[in-house]
Amino acid sequence: MVLNNRFRLSHMVVGGSIAMSALALSIMPAYAEVANQPVVSVATMSVPQSRSALLSQLPQGVSLRYLNQLSALYAANHMQPMWQDRTAVQQFQQQLAEVALSGVQPQFTQWVQALTNPDVSGMARDAVLSDAMQGYLQFVSGVSATKGSWLYSSVPYAMAEPPATLVNNWQLSIRDGRLNTFVKSLEPAHPQYAAMHKALKNLLADARPWPVVSDGPSLKPGDLSADMPALREVLQRTGMLEGDSSVKPTPVPEAQPLQSPASQDPNAVISPSTTAVTDLTKQQPSPEAEPAKAASVSVIDNRYTPELVEAVKRFQQWQGLASDGVIGKRTREWLNVSPQTRATLLALNIQRLRILPGEVNTGIMVNIPNYSLIYYQNGAEVLSSRVIVGRPSRKTPLMNSELNNVVVNPPWNVPTTLIREDIVPKAMHDPGYFERHGYRLFSGWSNDAEAVNPYMIDWASVSPRNFPYRIQQAPGANNSLGRYKFNMPSQDAIYLHDTPNHGLFEKDIRALSSGCVRVNKASTLANMLLQDAGWNDARVSSALKEGNTKYVPIRHRIPVRLYYLTAWVSEDGKPQFRTDIYNYDDTVRSGAKIAAQAERLFQL
């Protein structure tokens, strides 16, 4: 696509041909942007000539993904550099690095590598920046168009041309001297972005080797372990070890025992935690006159002390884990997450901000991996509650909907998946299973379906996959939906509801349901919604005692958003991280490989 007359710049003809040597003017130093590059005066050129000119500037091993499109753009711009705004270059490079760190598309990794290549300078660097902008514009528009599905898939999305409207806006911003404003408009429009961006930069800057806490049995207060030096360093560097400023980075040992899990990974950072307690004492020989003192020091250094226990509890709370001070599998996994990996998690979740509303006036927001629900009214938080979400095999979907009614004393029509996978396999050889669990059978799903006696069913003629009956659990204290159900349109039959088993809300990992969202403070939420519908406390209490099912329409539909954010920044400025229960964060593994190059782009 040629944007004719986009720029009216002076030009000259040398011997009837293009002065190609002019393109080599002002080759910039490594890692510098093309700001302040002098205008190159060239004759109007064709697209093929522009293509040749661009290719002539690229060092070996560097290519342009959008060469055809860029050839047209640079021809229309008389081969003038597009990136002469220093601030715009800095902002764009950082946004580009954030996408590369997220790992959603490997092409962004190649752009970061090219932009940190000292051989890519001058017009070559200008072209790479423009190439990356083409891909970035496709990404920004595509994330919205696909409702964020690219950000929750382990398969990279397909590269394509960006929308012509966005390309035109980019070119207009260059012509009008507004490139910096245009680039800034491509940031996620969310209040969290600035804080997450800052936290990401700080994490990338910590490039020191990260200690490894080795696998093994759970460590309890008072236990001895060679992992204590590594643990102490992790806790100090994450700010969890209060009042301890004496800890220095643990040196990497020259050797490691065969049992070390890190020995399986040549890229792993090895710490003294992989060395046995006895070996540590050998590495630090003491004078012969003080053998007892040396042994005592070794034991103290490797003791899981009360000070460390309290720091671990703070660390666990920070990660959304049960703060019991016991170092088990999940705590170990988080202790071993380096600052660079945490930066990639922030980068991925920064992109997820693009599909979230910047402000919520009235609505319910459920963050699935944080197991949390927040209800806003007129911009203010009026309710916060723990929730239980779908287990990994029956994920709670990401969705937007609106609450349209509250059901008091709801019956429960068991979903087909549960019927096939859970109930029928148990009941086929024990028809009494239905009565013991409060289930009733009906001949079909219509309102006039007749009740069916499970003992009268010819169980030899049915199977879990071919079960024609509807199973319903009657309202009551033991009903799986509890006392309240909050309906909203959903193609997956997802809704919010109460539960009779509130003890499960004390668990730290609450991915336990079959997909619907159980709300700990369901009664509080119901009372707020019912009051808005004209019900007072006495009427609610009477309905609960009566036990009959009541469907109460909501006067003003309440927007509901179920979203998935595993990293953000809390009000105290500290980045928060949560367990990726659905493995939606797997893409960051590729992003972590370019952490060093990405960090350089943040510094340019």
Check residue 246 and give its pLDDT.
36
H or E element, residue 367: strand 363-367
> What residues have CB less than 8 Å from 511, skipping those under 6 apart?
371, 388, 389, 390, 391, 392, 581, 582
Give CA–CA dist 379/74, Å, rounded: 47
CA dihedral of 160, 166, 172, 178, whole degrees rounded to 10: -110
Note the Cα 331 to chain centre separation in Å. 19
Closest CA to 80 of 25, 14, 138, 15: 25
Q: Are 437 and 473 in contact (CB under 8 A)?
A: yes
Q: Are 264 and 271 in contact (CB under 8 A)?
A: no
pLDDT > 60? residue 322: yes
For 379-399, what is the mean pLDDT?
97
Band the pLDDT of 299: cuts 50, 70, 90.
Answer: low
Q: Residue 229 is which amino acid?
A: P
pLDDT > 80? residue 292: no
Closest CA to 494 of 422, 402, 564, 557: 402
Tokens 């705590």, residue?
331
Q: Give one word for 483, left, alpha or beta, with left for phi > 0 and alpha for psi -120 to 50.
A: alpha
Least confident of 67-76, 129-138, 288-297, 403-412: 288-297
Closest CA to 173 of 377, 6, 344: 6
For 517-546, what is the mean pLDDT?
96
For 298-303, what is the mean pLDDT?
73
For 328-348, what is the mean pLDDT?
97
Query: Packing angle between helix 122-145 and helix 67-76, nearest 10 degrees?
Result: 120
Note the Cα 345 to chain centre separation in Å. 6
pLDDT > 60? residue 501: yes
The pair of structure tokens assigned to 257 is 């025992």
Check residue 43 and give its pLDDT.
53
Count the Cβ atoms, other than its own, within 10 Å of residue 137. 20
> What residues have CB less than 8 Å from 248, skipping those under 6 apart?
none
Q: pLDDT tens for residues 424-483?
A: 999 988 999 999 888 999 988 888 889 999 999 988 898 988 999 999 999 988 899 999
pLDDT > 50? residue 24: no
Domains of the chain with bracketed CATH? 20-190 (no CATH), 211-337 (1.10.101.10), 359-411+478-564 (2.40.440.10), 413-474 (no CATH)
pLDDT > 60? residue 248: no
Check residue 448 and give its pLDDT.
87
Structure letter (DSSP) for residue 21: G
Q: Which residues of 286-316 are buried (b: 16+ CB within 10 A; e: fewer)?
A: eeeeeeeeeeeebeebbebeeebbbbbbbbb
For 79-95, what is the mean pLDDT?
97
Give CA–CA dist 519/384, Å, rounded: 10
DSSP secondary structure, 392-408, as one string? GGGPPPPEEEEEEEEEE
Count the Cβ atoms, other than its own, within 10 Å of residue 588. 23
The pair of structure tokens assigned to 280 is 């540590």
Closest CA to 496 of 372, 353, 357, 358: 372
For 60-72, what is the mean pLDDT?
97
Q: Give one word for 56, left, alpha or beta, with left for phi > 0 and alpha for psi -120 to 50.
A: alpha
Active site residues: 497, 516
Closest CA to 526 of 481, 489, 563, 570: 481
Q: Are 315 and 335 in contact (CB under 8 A)?
A: yes
pLDDT > 60? residue 8: no
Q: Are 405 and 412 in contact (CB under 8 A)?
A: no
Least confident of 58-67, 87-96, 281-290, 565-574: 281-290
Give CA–CA dist 343/574, Å, rounded: 13
For 101-113, what is the mean pLDDT?
97
Give CA–CA dist 480/472, Å, rounded: 10
Band the pLDDT of 589: cuts 50, 70, 90.
Answer: confident
Give CA–CA dist 467/469, Å, rounded: 6
Closest CA to 347 of 88, 602, 603: 602
pLDDT > 50? residue 77: yes
Give CA–CA dist 128/146, Å, rounded: 26
Percent of the chain with pLDDT over 90: 74
Give CA–CA dist 176/164, Å, rounded: 18
**For the whole model, what pTM was predicted?**
0.82
